[in-house]
Structure 1
C-alpha cells in the first residue's frame, strides 16, 4: 500500500517532529527510530491551499516545493511572505534565530504559532525581539536587516554543514544575546511594536544534536524505485539525519518526499537514491518565511 507524505511538522508542545500523511495519519520521529521507504511512479503536484492540482502535474524530484508553476502561484497569492496580506489582523513576533557561529537571521512569525516556525527552520537557538501588528513587525525586521546587516535567510546547506560542530550552549546564547542587545537599542522601531526582553530558547536537545556525527551525504532527489533507509539520529527543521546500512550518515530533506507515492522498505536496506556532497544538494535556500 502506497502512502503520500504531507510533510514534516513540529506540533506545538511536542518534543519530537512528526511526518504527516494524506488522510491525517502521523508518524512520530523519535531518535533511534528505524525508517525505510521506496518511491514509486512519478512525483505529482500537491496542489495549492488545500485544493488538488487539476492535472496532477508531474514535478521535478529536486524541487523542495512539490507544486507546478500554476499551483505555486496560487499558493503564494495569499502569503504573508509575499506581502499580499498587509491587512492580516493577527499579532506577529519578530525573532532572532541562530544556526551556527556567525549565522543569525531575523524573521517574523504569527504569534499564535509559537516557536513552530523556528523549529521548522532548524533554528538551534532563538530569542523573541518584539510583538505587534504585521506591518510594524515588517518595518522593524527591515530596520534590523539594514542597520545590523542581519539577513532574513540562511542557506540550508550552511545550516547542515555546522550541526556536527556546534559550540557549547552558553556560547550559542551569548551570540544571540549580544545581537538582541544591539537590536533593541536601535532607534526607528515601529511605535506599535512592543520590545521583548532577551530569553534564549535552545533546540539542540529537541533536535538530537548532541554528539551528532558529520554527515557523509545529502539526498539529492527521490526517484522511481529508489530506497531511503536508516536509523534516525537527529531531526532538525525539515532534515532527518539517518545512520545508513553502510555506516554513513545521510541527510534527507523531507520536503523532497511530498508528492511521491511511498511504500515501506527494510530499514536496513541500502540507500539507492542519488546523493550529493554536503552543501551541493538542491533546496539550499530557505523557502518562505512563515
Structure 2
C-alpha cells in the first residue's frame, strides 16, 4: 500500500450514522477510546456540525463490544463501510443468507406512496425501529416466525409481484412531495389488499399470521399530510465530498435517515441523506453554514441544479 492510500490512525469523534429507537432519531458519533455520543434530533433541534476529513469507514457494531471504528478511507457517497467491513457486517450477512439467527422475526409491509409497497423483515426485538429507519409512512405487520420461514414468505410475496423488496430513496422522495389528503386512506387500502392476497394465495402458511392494524408513522417523523415535503428545496449532493462543510440549521423533520433542515436566511429547507455525513470527523461547532454542496430541486420535473458552496 502506498503512502497516499495508507489509512491513517482513527482519531477524534467521527459521525457513524443516524439511528432510530422506538421513539426518536439520533445522530451518533463514535470515538476509538470512548463511549458513543448521541445527539437527539427532535423537531426544532439546533444543528452545528463541522465536517473534517478524510472520510473513513464507520467500521462494525458489536452487541457486546460496541463500535469498532475502521481506518480505511472512503469516497463520498451513501456507502459508509469499506468492502472488508461490509463483508463482516451482521445485517448484510443476514441479507445474503450467510448468517443463521435464532431470534424471532417479523414480516411487514411498508407504504411509501401510491404503488410503492415494500415487503421486509426485522427482528421482533427491534420493534418498529427498522420501519422508521426506512421512512415507512404507514405499515402493517403480517406475521412472525423463525428467520427461514419469514424469509421464504418475504420472497414469495415479492415473486408474486404483490410488493417489492427495495424502494430507492429518489422514488420515496418523489412520492413524499406528492402526498395529498387521500394518502392515509390509500395507504390503508393498499396494505390491506396486499395482505388479503398473500393470505388467500397461501403465502403465509408457514408463519404465524398476526392481526396487526395499519400503523401511521407520519407524526413520529414530524411530517404533515398533505405536503410533507416542500416542493422547492435543496438536496445535499450525493457525489460531492463534504470535507470542510459546515451544516448549521434547525431540524424541521427526520424521515427515515433523511434530515430536513431549515437553514438560516433561506426559505427552502435542505434535504440531506444522513448516510452522506457518516465517516467524517467532527470539528469545533460552527456558527454559520459553509461550503455545503447542494442541488436546487425543482418540483414536477424533479430537475436539480448544482449550487456547490452556496451556503
TM-score range, shorter chain: 0.7 to 0.9
Return the alpha-carbon distance in structure 1 between the equivalents of residues 295 and 132 of structure 2. Answer: 24
TM-score for both structures, normalised by structure 1? 0.86
Within-5 A mapping of 1:78-227: 79-85=93-99, 87-168=100-181, 169-191=184-206, 193-210=207-224, 211-212=227-228, 213-220=230-237, 221-227=240-246
Return the alpha-carbon distance in structure 2 between the equivalents of residues 149 and 262 of structure 1. Answer: 44
In the TM superposition, residue 66 of structure 1 has moved relative to its aligned partner by 2.0
Return the alpha-carbon distance in structure 1 between the equivalents of residues 48 and 129 of structure 2. Answer: 26
Q: Structure 1 residues 232 and 78 mapped into 2: Cα distance closer, same or farther (>3 Å)?
A: closer
Pick aligned residue for 2:48 from 19, 26, 36: 36
Count of residues in correspondence between the two structures? 272
Q: Which structure dedicates a bigger proportion of its chain to strand?
A: 2
Within-5 A mapping of 1:274-289: 274-276=293-295
Q: Structure 1 residues 21 and 52 mapped into 2: Cα distance closer, same or farther (>3 Å)?
A: closer
> What residue in structure 2 maps to residue 241 of structure 1?
260
Whether contact under 8 Å (1:39, 1:222) holds in the other structure is no
In the TM superposition, residue 196 of structure 1 has moved relative to its aligned partner by 1.4
> What residue in structure 2 maps to residue 7 of structure 1?
17
In the TM superposition, residue 280 of structure 1 has moved relative to its aligned partner by 8.4
Whether contact under 8 Å (2:108, 2:143) holds in the other structure is yes
> What residue in structure 1 maps to residue 281 of structure 2?
261
TM-score for both structures, normalised by structure 2? 0.80
In the TM superposition, residue 272 of structure 1 has moved relative to its aligned partner by 2.1
Q: Which moved more, 1:163-172 or 1:243-252?
A: 163-172
Whether contact under 8 Å (1:148, 1:183) holds in the other structure is no
Return the alpha-carbon distance in structure 1 between the equivalents of residues 134 and 267 of structure 2. Answer: 27
Structure 2: which 5+ runs fail to align? 1-10, 62-66, 305-311
**Structure showing greater relative contact order (alpha-carbon pairs closer than 8 Å, 6 or more residues apart):** 1
Return the alpha-carbon distance in structure 2 between the equivalents of residues 188 and 126 of structure 1. Answer: 19
For residue 176 of structure 1, give the secondary structure of its aligned residue in structure 2: helix
In the TM superposition, residue 136 of structure 1 has moved relative to its aligned partner by 0.6
Q: Structure 1 residues 215 and 81 mapped into 2: Cα distance closer, same or farther (>3 Å)?
A: farther
Whether contact under 8 Å (2:43, 2:251) holds in the other structure is yes
> What residue in structure 1 maps to residue 251 of structure 2?
232
Q: Structure 1 residues 208 and 164 mapped into 2: Cα distance closer, same or farther (>3 Å)?
A: farther
In the TM superposition, residue 77 of structure 1 has moved relative to its aligned partner by 8.7
For the aligned residue pairs, the C-alpha RMSD in angstroms reads 2.3
Larger radius of gyration between Structure 1 and Structure 2: 2
In the TM superposition, residue 29 of structure 1 has moved relative to its aligned partner by 0.7
Pick aligned residue for 1:20 from 21, 28, 45: 28
Q: Structure 1 residues 108 and 77 mapped into 2: Cα distance closer, same or farther (>3 Å)?
A: closer
In the TM superposition, residue 96 of structure 1 has moved relative to its aligned partner by 0.4
Return the alpha-carbon distance in structure 2 between the equivalents of residues 272 and 253 of structure 1. Answer: 17
Q: Which moved more, 1:148-157 or 1:164-173?
A: 164-173
